[in-house]
Structure formats: C-alpha cells, structure tokens
Structure 1
Amino acid sequence: MSLAKLAPSPQAIAELRSFSRQLVRELGYLRSPVAGSELPPSTVHAILEIGMQPGIQARDLAQTLRLDKSNTSRQLAKLESLGLVRRQALDSDGRSTALFLTDEGLSLFAQAEAFGTQQVAKVLGQLDEVDQQALGRYLSLYAQALAQDNPHTLPPQLAVDRLVEGYRPGCLGEIAGFFAPDLQSGGFAAERAMTEELTGFLAGLPRADAKLWLYHQDGHTLGSIALEAGPAPRQATLRWFGVKNTERGTGMGRQLLESALAHADLVFDAVWCSVPAATPGGVRAARLLAAHGFHPHGTVTVQRWGQSRVAQRWCRKRA
C-alpha cells in the first residue's frame, strides 16, 4: 500500500533548501577551478559526462547538462579549442557527430573522477553500512524528484518493436563488443573467458530460469540485458547489461532495464546486480539502477573473465 503524498511544510522546504546549498558548497561546486584542474565547474562537468558516455552527441549532452543548444555549442567550442574534446562524423555528410575525449581530455577525466571518488569515499567512510544505504536511497529520491518536472530529462523515443527477446544471429559478437574496453588489461585470456561465458549462456536458451533481451536494429544488436534465477529462491541476477557506445544517452539502456524488471516482477521477489566500483561504466550503471529502485548493498571483490575487481552490489525488491 502506498502512502498518500502530503504537501511539504514551510519548515521542511527551508531545511531542504539549506541542505542543498550546503551540499553545493561542501562539494566545491562554487569554487573555480574545481577537481584540481584549472577549469570552471561547468567545463569539468561536461568532461565527466563525455568521458562516461563516449560517442555522446551534442543534443544528448545538452539534455544531460540541462543546457540549451547555444550554451552547449559554446561549451564544446571551448573544449575543442583546449584540445580536450574531438568530434567524429556519424554519417557521410557529417551532419551528426559523436563526441570523444582526446588523450589530454581523458587525463583530465581520470583526475576529476579520482577527485570525486575520493570525496564520496571520505563521506561514506564516516558512516556504517545502514547509513550508507539510507544516504544512497534518499539522495536518489531527491534527484529523481528534481528531475521529474525538468523537460531536459525526457529521453528520445525509441521504437518498441526493436526490443526483442532471445537470441538473434550475430548478437554474440556485438554483445562482446560492448564489454571489450573493460578487458584491455586482461588481454586475450580475459576476452576468451568473456566469450565462453556469453556463449554458454546463449547456448542454454530458451529456458525458464533465464531471459535475454536485445535492442535489434537493421540486423545489428545495439544493446542487451540478461536475467538469470539465483542466488537464492525467488531471486534473480542481472548477468550482463550494456549498450553500444554510440547509443548511450538515448534511453536504450533504460528501456532494456525496464523490460527485464517488468518480467522479474512477475516471477521474482528481488533482483541483484553487481557493477564495477569507481569506473565510468559503473557510475553510469549505478545512476540507472538507483533511478529504478535498486539500493546499494556494500562492495565485494569479484572474479570475472579472469580479472579481479571491486564491485558495488545493488538489490531491488519487488514492491
């Protein structure tokens, strides 16, 4: 049973406004430069978003940053002049371009990520696990509420009929390509381990305790999510979840996740997911998971595809 929403009291509004101002101050967003760079906060924010979504287009960057087209164009022009961002044509006439960080931009991105990770780690280190989970939940609720009435948060409409269930020829190689950048340190052994895991899962389909969804367009797989029963009765685990770099920011990941969760709500009481901690991909995944009712459940060291890494555990319980 859901609780009725009450009109906020003047005191609650004043307290939350005060908290918001303090949060901005403490995070250093009023200082310029920020994150140990020589750039203003808005520029560093743009660097972070492009770094977390390689291949993002200018219109999607504007949506993410809550900026209009002209402000975004000026921001990008400045980043290009500084040698931090490059454009890559997406079609033959060059009308659509994808944004990528240059080597210098990637260096700044890593510096800003380390700065932000250190800030958050310092805060979480002062809290016990229960308070860490509560903090994540309530900040997520606050962010979602702020975003609801913001027109910039509405993603482009995707074709529902391109979301298909089950294996399609060619999907194995394209799904593997989503995760290839994460395997560079592991070399061939890591790539082989990943391919073997994907092949084993796909070879077992269809089966009652596992599902695969693809975003399939013109014979190509642009995104995928896989769900499997376990680790406990009436629980499930997201085996993998990824989209092609050029499709990030389009709402495709959201649509895939919502399809998997709609099925999970019919069959399971809880869904678990582990995402790499303090990496661009992990940050993107964490944002999306938090926006769909997942809550953090601590970190674990996992062995996957021949590599050891620290992962954040997330869980979503059926309402």
Structure 2
Amino acid sequence: MSIKDNLISDIRASSRQLVRQWGVLAKHVAGTDYSLSAVHAILEIGLFDGINSKDLAQALILEKSTVSRLVKSLVEQDLVVKVDDPADRRKQGLTLTDKGKTLLDDINKHANEQVRDALDDVDKEDIFKIAEGLRRYSDALGHKKAQISDCELRIGTGYSPGLIGQISSLHSQFYYDLVGFGSIFEGIVASGMSEFMGRLDKPCNEFWHVCENRKILASLALDGEDLGNNIAHLRWFIVDASLRGKGFGHKLMRSALDFADQTGFVETHLSTFKGLDAARHIYESYGFVLTEEKADTTWGKEVIEQQFVRKRGA
C-alpha cells in the first residue's frame, strides 16, 4: 500500500471512531430525545433565524421532501414556527419557539462540554492542529460535493481594489434599510476602513473578504491595535443577503477567532446594535458574552449599542 492509501485507512478509522463517540449511531443524540436530523435542524435554524426550508435542505444535505417532513414534525412539537419573510410575503422562514431555544441551549451545552472534556489533557498547540485539521477535512469533503468552478465564492485576505468602497456600500445599504443610517454612518465606515488598511502590514491585523468575480460580498476585520491591552477588535462584519444561510458568516468568524487565539490576544471584543438576532446567534455560538448595552448617537441616529467580549480559547 502507498503512503496515501495508509493515510486514507487511518482517516476512515478515525472517522468511524468520531461517529461512534459522538453517538451518531444512537437513536437519540446530543443528550436529547431527538434524532440526529432534528438536532442539526434546530442548530441551523438557531444560527440562521428565518432560514427557509430550501436553504435548510442545502445546509443539511437532505432532500427537500425529507426536510419538509422534518419541519412539519418540529412545528407539531412546538419547537419551530413558520414566519412570513418581510421582504416577500409569499415566502416563509423558520424560527425557534421558546421551547426550541431551550432545546438549542441544551444541545450547545452538551456539545461544548463533550469537546472540553475531550481536550482537557491535550496541549494547546495540538488543539489548534485538531481544529485546523477538522476544518480542512470538512472543507475538502464539501468542496468535492460542490464541484468547485472558477467562479466559486472565495475567502481572501488583505486589501483588493475597490474593497473599501464596496464594503462601505454594503454597510450603508444594510443599515439604511434597518435603522435609517445615512451619510454620517457611511463616512465613518469608509474613513475607518481607510485608516485600518494602512496598518494591514502589521502581523496583529488581518482582513477577510468573500469575493465573486471581483465583487465583494462579505467581510470581517481583526484590528489588534486600536483597543490596546492585548485585546483584539472585530470590525466591519457584514454578509450580503445573497450569501446568508450559506455559512460564510461562520467561516469568516472562525478564521478571525483562530487568528486571534493563535496570535495570543487575551480577549476579543466587538460592537453591534440591538436587534440583529441572527448575528448575535453567531457571536454567542463562538463564546462571545454581552457585557454592555447603551444608547448611542455616534452614527447619526440613536440606537442601542451592544458590546460583546470573548475570552481567549472560549
């Protein structure tokens, strides 16, 4: 057997062990009374509040008819409700009920404890290797199924021509529609990004963006300087509506937090506005905790600004 054949055998053996240890073969999983498909559906709906059945089927890699029956069951169990899409009343999204949110909390608690227990005696350097290895393997599996083309959406880093203007435009349009922010907000975003781009040569700073045919559709920056005290600052997190529910927000967040942990920042901070529930689900799923809420008029209109903090390795 070749070296590659031996590695394939090892990877398959490890994959089987993971499946068994995670309890996938059991009738119920994640310490709940629910099936694996139901648990994963709750996770996706919790992360992407308002996701429609079509996108849920794509996320779970299941047939539409299977997901339709699954959603019907979750609705009947008072875990999920269907809500009208505010942009198109002909469409419906899915959101968790209070009972569903409680179940989501229980699932996350069980899963987080399982991972923490497994990593208790693992060196910090090896933990990073485990996380990176799993990410690369899962990406490789997904890439084969997606049949990547030259026009595929890609995550890039650093500056690219037109980036400042396009990201400023994404922010401006989104927050104008949401709360009515105008030229003051757009100017602050553009000037802040321009200043930050001049510091991208520093090893403590990085910028990630999703691009398709030179069109920027999502972004996230990690500023390692502006807050001081060895604290990382996440800035300019935005995902175009065409990408929502496809996991790019999570990919950007994971990339930034891996960078923060590997660089050695003791904390990572971010600021946002009250009412952005889908984004808040992402933040909290990565260990961010709400630490402060206050009224703010910096952006030209009064909003409730929220501060979130994540400890290193959370």
Q: Which band: TM-score by shorter chain?
A: 0.5 to 0.7
**1:246 offset after TM fit, Å?**
9.4
**2-side partners of 1:58 and 1:251: how far apart?**
15
Contact 1:166 1:214 in 2 (8 A): no
What's the counterpart of residue 99 of structure 2? 104
Question: Within the alignment, does 1:41 sit opposite 2:30 as a pair?
Answer: no
**1:204 offset after TM fit, Å?**
4.2
**2-side partners of 1:300 and 1:106: how far apart?**
17
What's the counterpart of residue 51 of structure 2? 56
Q: Which runs of 5+ in 1 are unaligned?
A: 1-5, 179-196, 216-221, 262-269, 287-298, 315-319
What's the counterpart of residue 167 of structure 1? 168
**2-side partners of 1:150 and 1:122: how far apart?**
32
Given the alignment, which residue of 17, 21, 30 partners 1:26? 21
- In structure 2, relative to structure 1, the CA distance for the partners of 1:19 and 1:209 (3 Å cut) is same
Given the alignment, which residue of 60, 67, 70 partners 2:62? 67
What's the counterpart of residue 264 of structure 1? none
**1-side partners of 2:169 and 2:38: how far apart?**
41
Measured on the aligned residues, the alpha-carbon RMSD in Å equals 4.9
- In structure 2, relative to structure 1, the CA distance for the partners of 1:137 and 1:92 (3 Å cut) is closer
**1-side partners of 2:33 and 2:289: how far apart?**
35
Contact 2:219 2:239 in 1 (8 A): yes
Answer with 246-255 or 143-152: which moved more: 246-255
- In structure 2, relative to structure 1, the CA distance for the partners of 1:55 and 1:171 (3 Å cut) is same
**1-side partners of 2:166 and 2:248: how far apart?**
15
Contact 2:219 2:238 in 1 (8 A): yes
Question: Within the alignment, does 1:114 sit opposite 2:109 as a pair?
Answer: yes
- In structure 2, relative to structure 1, the CA distance for the partners of 1:91 and 1:144 (3 Å cut) is same
Q: Which runs of 5+ in 2 are unaligned?
A: 154-161, 180-184, 201-206, 211-216, 257-262, 271-279, 293-304
What's the counterpart of residue 8 of structure 1? 4
**1:310 offset after TM fit, Å?**
2.9
- In structure 2, relative to structure 1, the CA distance for the partners of 1:177 and 1:118 (3 Å cut) is farther
**1:248 offset after TM fit, Å?**
2.5
What's the counterpart of residue 309 of structure 2? 309
Contact 2:290 2:306 in 1 (8 A): no
Question: Within the alignment, does 1:89 sit opposite 2:92 as a pair?
Answer: no
- In structure 2, relative to structure 1, the CA distance for the partners of 1:134 and 1:21 (3 Å cut) is same
Deviations 1:188-227 (A, max 9, x none): xxxxxxxxx9986555454352799999xxxxxx965456
- In structure 2, relative to structure 1, the CA distance for the partners of 1:101 and 1:86 (3 Å cut) is same
TM-score normalized by the length of structure 1: 0.60
Question: Within the alignment, does 1:79 sit opposite 2:58 as a pair?
Answer: no
**2-side partners of 1:306 and 1:93: how far apart?**
29
**1-side partners of 2:178 and 2:152: how far apart?**
25
Question: Within the alignment, does 1:209 sit opposite 2:198 as a pair?
Answer: yes
- In structure 2, relative to structure 1, the CA distance for the partners of 1:153 and 1:60 (3 Å cut) is farther
Deviations 1:55-106 (A, max 9, x none): 1111111111110111111111111111111111226874321111111111
TM-score normalized by the length of structure 2: 0.61
Q: Identity rate of aligned residues, in percent?
A: 29
- In structure 2, relative to structure 1, the CA distance for the partners of 1:303 and 1:105 (3 Å cut) is closer
**1-side partners of 2:189 and 2:88: how far apart?**
40
Deviations 1:96-126 (A, max 9, x none): 2111111111111111011111111111222
What's the counterpart of residue 127 of structure 1? 122
